[in-house]
Amino acid sequence: MMLTIGISPCPNDTYIFEAIANSIISASAIGFNFEYHDIAVLNQKSQAVELDIVKVSYANYFKIAKDYILLKSGGAMGFGVGPLLLSPEKISPNEKHKVAIPGKNTTANFLLQYAFPKLKNKTEIPFDQIEEALVSKKFDLGLVIHESRFTYEQKGLHKVMDLGSYWEENENLPIPLGGIAIKRSLAKEYGQTINDLIIQSIEWQERQATLSDYIQSHAQEMEIEVMQQHIDLYVNDFSKNVGSDGEKAIAFMKKILLPNFEKPIVIEC
């Protein structure tokens, strides 16, 4: 059985999945074909049910829940990991401001709406172009994720709000950024195996002394120091198992986004 897996090229995803992608660890009778896409593209592919296993924004998951169920391992969740709302000049957000976002179905946009429900003038652009769009003042506000957390001050940008901190202060729950979803039709037979492989892959990675060429090549122009900061922030205990607090955070999002969905949302593995 060959299963297609879609993840992002970001260091946290390639760190988590390297041992699987490069067949350092494997499972009998299962093979994997990997695809690498921006999270907005992965969300779109999940809505089209194109991939067997896929990294998705948790906020997007509730659009695909009839076809997919979440694994407990492999995702990005935690405290202090939320997106930042930035601006080229110090401002107080209002409904007239133009906002660059990394995707309407991202958890980042969900948290933006949670904190600033009146901000509606939004434009989707690739996440790695938002900083420069703010520097050139094409937008009044920009919603940044991933490595932009570590580089925005160098570019003279201002932090309007840490949306993750706002969520944590109000809900006292970890921030559910992105999770690994598997087709419901495959979950019963393969879900436990995939969960176990992901945990083994992380544990293999934890024994490595340096970041591999595989991680660096997918991260493109990111500096080694930024890659390591990225991994240190987004790969944590929740990456091995979302646990009870993680499930509470996902269930809270479900209550807001899909209150009437009755099927299980996290696989019992």
Do 69 and 197 share a domain, yes or no?
Answer: yes
Residue of 146, 158, 218, 230 marked active site:
146
The mean pLDDT value for 143-157 works out to: 83
Q: Are 75 and 242 in contact (CB under 8 A)?
A: yes
pLDDT confidence of residue 52: 98
The mean pLDDT value for 226-233 works out to: 90
DSSP 10: S
pLDDT confidence of residue 196: 95
Do 45 and 10 share a domain, yes or no?
Answer: yes
Start-to-end CA distance of the chain, whole Å, equals: 20
Share of the chain above pLDDT 70, in %: 98
Q: How many residues does the chain have?
A: 269
Query: Is residue 264 situated within a structural domain?
Result: no
From 171, 197, 222, the end of a domain falls on 171
Could you list the residue range(s) of the whole structural domain that residue 186 is in? 2-78+176-257
Average pLDDT, the chain: 92
CATH of the domain at 164: 3.40.190.10
pLDDT classification of 29: cutoffs 50, 70, 90: confident
| CA 218/CA 240 separation, integer angstroms | 22
What SS3 state is found at 29? coil
Do 183 and 197 share a domain, yes or no?
Answer: yes
pLDDT confidence of residue 99: 97
Would you call 218 a catalytic residue per the annotation?
A: no
Do 7 and 68 share a domain, yes or no?
Answer: yes
Total number of domains in the chain: 2
pLDDT confidence of residue 198: 97
Q: What is the pLDDT of residues 51-83, one digit of tens each?
A: 999 999 999 999 999 999 999 999 999 998 889
Do 8 and 122 share a domain, yes or no?
Answer: no
Does the pLDDT at position 221 exceed 70? no
Does the pLDDT at position 3 exceed 70? yes
- Region of residue 187 (phi > 0: left; psi between -120 and 50: alpha; otherwise: beta): alpha
Do 163 and 93 share a domain, yes or no?
Answer: yes
Query: Is residue 33 situated within a structural domain?
Result: yes
Query: Is residue 262 situated within a structural domain?
Result: no
DSSP 30: B
Do 22 and 154 share a domain, yes or no?
Answer: no
